[in-house]
Amino acid sequence: MRPQVVSKTGTGETAVVVVDHYRAPFNVGFAVVVSGTVTYTVQHTFDDILNSSVTPTWFSHEELAGQTASADGNYAFPVRAIRLSNTAGSGTTTLTAIQAGSPGR
């Protein structure tokens, strides 16, 4: 997967980064860069967000919830999509995600 980049200024959620849950190994590395003052959480879902009839349930990343500074992390096990949720502040967060592994199906 080529690096995917999404950003959000102020509160709310970014667009989603869809990842290939069939890749082996799965391995997604990501970084969040903060500009200004903002509180954010990296979130993921196991739901098929490409199916318009599904309302995804979002879960907070174990280590990157309620953060205020730039940070990086990873997903070693399959998820379907990733996003940022800015919960406070007027700054900007930018998420860059890169997935390794061989293409799925």
Q: In CATH, what number is assigned to the domain containing residue 14?
A: 2.60.120.1090
Q: Quote the pTM value.
A: 0.93
Rounded to whole angstroms, how far apart are CA atoms 91 and 36?
A: 4
**pLDDT exceeding 90 applies to what percent of the chain?**
87
Asked if residue 16 is part of any domain, the answer here is yes
Rounded to whole angstroms, how far apart are CA atoms 46 and 54?
A: 11
Domain count, the chain: 1
Asked if residue 53 is part of any domain, the answer here is yes
Range of the domain at 64: 4-99
Position with higher pLDDT, 13 vs 103: 13
pLDDT value at position 64? 97
Q: What is the DSSP letter of 15?
A: P
